[in-house]
Amino acid sequence: MKRRKHLLLWTSLGTLVLLGWAIYEEHFSQEWRLLQDQYRMRLEPAAARSFAVQLRQIVVPALNTTDRCVSCHVGMAAGETPIEGHPVFGSHPPVAHDPSEFGCTVCHGGQGRATRIADAHGTAPFWPQPMLPRGFAYAGCGSCHTHLAVTNLDQLERGRSLVERFDCLRCHELEGRGGTTRPFQATGPPAPDLSAVGARGFSPGWHDQHLERSRDAADGYWKDSITVLDVGQRRDLETFLRSRAGAPGLVESKALFHSQGCRGCHKVNAVGGDDGPDLSLAGQKDPALLDFSGLPGERSLPEWLREHFRAPAKVVAGSQMPYLGLDDEQIEGLTFYMLSLRRTSFPEAYWPPDRVRAQLLGERDFSADGATLYGTFCAACHGPRGQGMRYPGTSAFPAVANPDFLELASDEFLLTAIRRGRPGRRMPAWGETEGGLTETEILTLASYLRRLGGREPEPDGQPARWVRAEAESGGALYAQNCASCHGVEGQGGEGTALRNPVLLESASDTYLTETIWRGRRGTTMPAFSEASTIHRSLTRPEIESIVAFIRSWETRP
């Protein structure tokens, strides 16, 4: 009996202790309570008295958002006074969107419903979308503004350097820099902040207005504020200003992505090549599902992406992505852009105009000029200037801006090559149903190639097929002179794969014979009209027989 009473006594006492412990945890040791206590102590006595320690949250039903972040970051809660400069209680930096209207996780990631730091920031296990690190915060814009229109990287760079050159930042603020001087007088209003001028819009007559004021001013800053800009400069500046949408870094990194030719292999929003994985949601990858075995450092998505850009095969064993030799700045930029690819599904009422235009009207979110198109889809393989490319471990990619090539290739040949690609090779078909480029874009690309190489096609009076030679002797000549680069069966190697249905169909006999006759300067393809140290010269009939042999692949299975 005594033992039974003891059991009851001690288990009851133990239970009471545990309940006390639970009460302590619930009411005293919660991180947000401790933080709110700290916050209250920093308030003025009157404000502190009316401040209640309680859970705070931002709820946006339309976005399925319940964000309790403001339980700790009290300064950002509606109606509370921020404590400036404090890492937790500070105010939100000025952004285009009011956090109390959109919540926090929409942009920053993390777990809005959580009330403990590790859970909320998403560093605790089992939360697929941790917060974006501080440096990449603006990649969060990509949740809605994936389709933010960007322009050509060179043009952006030119615009930015013009801003510096003409010292616009003396009066205007831009992304936290400049704006120290007031144009009218020391106490007058500041010049407009340009950080989000692209989203707000600006007067088309800004240049003339500035000039006028400069003319009218007797002295002071206005007097020498601006000089006459030529049309090109104005266009570059305006393009740059239009790209300032309040998301510093996003536009630049997106433009960088669209200059590196990444979409030659990767699809983004259904447009791009098929060799690599679709990147449309690359920023939403769950770090827990990534393989970090090749990475020594921190296990986060940005770190994984960074290392992956540095050495793809080290991070993903057997990756086909070549070693790109990017510098650190480019790696940061591309990582930034990858993180911004986090298009989430929202009610259409919340869609920004960019997204409506891109997703509903099918407009492009990058500019449609030849340079951008080439930079977006071609540059990775064919080189930034069309000079061809060779990555460690890959064979050479053709120099598509080679003048010798462009002289012989008809426009139709170029267009077909882009439209239909080279089936079986890495060159994808870019037609509307495959790679997703429109006919206009393909035309633009072809003419951009001509601009890069600076050559128009030579007029060709011959029909497409005029060679009437005998293929037998051509076969022997081919084996002797061509097979070492183009492969015994024409399967390609160092040289192009000649046994390709699209190539054989669209290449004219003139194109083939003349290419062999003249060669391609600047590439490994020699001119066979003359002898070299490793081959004898070929006569025209001999070349024609080779072409006849090559043609025979069209009919032979």
Partner 1 sequence: MATAECRPALARFWANLKAVPALFRASAFRAGSPVSDRSRSSFVFGNVFLHLHSVRVHRWTLRWATTWGLGLITLAAFLIALLTGILLMFYYKPYPAVAYDSIKDIHFVVPTGRFIRNIHRWSANLMVVAVILHMARVFYTASYRRPREFNWVVGMVLLVLTLGLSFTGYLLPWDQLAYWAITIGANIAQSPREVTDALGLTAWFDLGGLQKLLLLGSDEVGEEALIRFYLLHVMILPIALLMLLAVHFWRIRKDGGLARPEDADGRLPAPARRLFPVFTQLPQKTYHLAALVRGRTPAMGPPENTLPSLPHLFYAEAGVLMLSVFICLLLALLSDAPLKELANPAVPENPAKAPWYFLGLQELVSHSAFMGGVGIPALVMIGLGLIPFLDREERGTGDWFGGPGGASLVVRATAFGLGACILLEAFTIRFGWLRQWWPEVPQLAITVANPGTLLALAYAWYSLWVMRRFDSTRAGALALFTCFLCGFVVLTVIGYHFRGPNWDFYWSPSQWPGH
- Least Cβ distance, residue 280 to partner 1 (angstroms): 15
Q: Least distance from C-beta 128 to partner 1, angstroms?
A: 5
* Nearest distance in Å: CB 103, partner 1: 14
Which are the contacts of 340, defined by CB distance < 8 A and separation ≥ 6?
138, 139, 140, 141, 142, 146, 250, 253, 254, 283
Alpha-carbon gap, residue 354 to 90, rounded angstroms: 32
Of the candidates 250, 269, 266, the one whose C-alpha atom is nearest the C-alpha of residue 358 is 269
Residue number with CB closer to partner 1 (21 or 350) = 21
| Encoded tokens for 316 | 């993903």
Tokens at residue 161, please?
């350097």
- DSSP-derived letter for residue 151 is -
Q: Given the complex with partner 1, which of 31 and 173 has the nearer CB atom? A: 31
Q: 292 or 466: whose CB is closer to partner 1?
A: 292
Report residue 556: phi and psi, to 5°. -75, 135
| Beta carbon nearer to partner 1, 296 or 393 | 296
User: Cβ 485 to partner 1, closest distance in Å?
Assistant: 41
Tell the smallest beta-carbon distance from residue 549 to partner 1 (Å).
47
From CA 41, how far away is CA 44, in angstroms rounded? 8
Q: Between 143 and 500, whose beta carbon lies closer to partner 1?
A: 143
Maximum separation of any 2 CA atoms in the chain, in Å: 117
Which lies closer to partner 1 via its Cβ, residue 25 or residue 494?
25
Cβ proximity to partner 1: between 31 and 275 the closer is 31
Give min distance, CB of 127 to partner 1, in A.
Answer: 7
User: Vertex 326, ends 132 and 377: CA angle to 5°?
Assistant: 90
Return the number of the residue (18 or 62) whose C-beta is nearest partner 1: 18
Please identify, using beta-carbon distances, which residue of 122 and 474 lies nearer to partner 1: 122
C-beta of 65 vs 387, nearer to partner 1: 65
The rounded Cα 19 to chain-centroid distance in angstroms is: 54
Pick 126 or 325: Cβ nearer partner 1: 126
Looking at beta carbons only, is 71 or 155 nearer to partner 1? 71
* Smallest separation, CB 1 to partner 1 (Å): 6
User: Minimum Å distance from CB 111 to partner 1?
Assistant: 8
Q: Cα(460)–Cα(330) distance, rounded to whole angstroms? A: 44
Shortest reach from residue 376's CB to partner 1, in Å: 29
Q: Which residues of 316-339 are buried (b: 16+ CB within 10 A; e: fewer)?
A: beeeebbbbeeeeebbbbbbbbbb
Distance CA 163, CA 13 (A): 74
How far is the first Cα of the chain from the last one, in angstroms, to the nearest whole number? 97
d(CA 372, CA 197): 23
- Residue 112 CB, nearest approach to partner 1 (Å): 9
Distance (Å, rounded) from C-alpha 237 to C-alpha 226?
A: 13
The CA distance from 274 to 429, in Å, is: 10
Q: Which is nearest to 381 in space by CA: 366, 404, 400?
A: 400
Contacts to partner 1 by CB under 8 A? 1, 3-5, 7-8, 11-12, 14-15, 18-19, 21-22, 25-26, 55, 66, 68, 111, 113-116, 119, 126-128, 286, 288-289, 291-293
Q: Give the Cα separation of 537 and 437 in Å (integer).
A: 42
Cα–Cα distance, 264 to 266 (Å, whole number): 6
Output the smallest distance, CB 183 to partner 1, in A: 51
Least gap, CB of 410 to partner 1 (angstroms): 47
Residue pair 494/485 in contact by the 8 Å Cβ criterion: yes
Contacts with 311 (C-beta within 8 Å, 6 or more apart), sequence order: 323
Closest distance of CB 9 from partner 1, Å: 8
Q: Per-residue DSSP letters for 302-371?
A: HHHHHHHHH-HHHHSTT--SPP----HHHHHHHHHHHHH-------GGG--HHHIIIIIS---SB--SHH
Identify which of 289, 323, 286 has the alpha carbon closest to the alpha carbon of residue 307: 323
Nearer residue to partner 1 within complex by CB, 114 or 400: 114
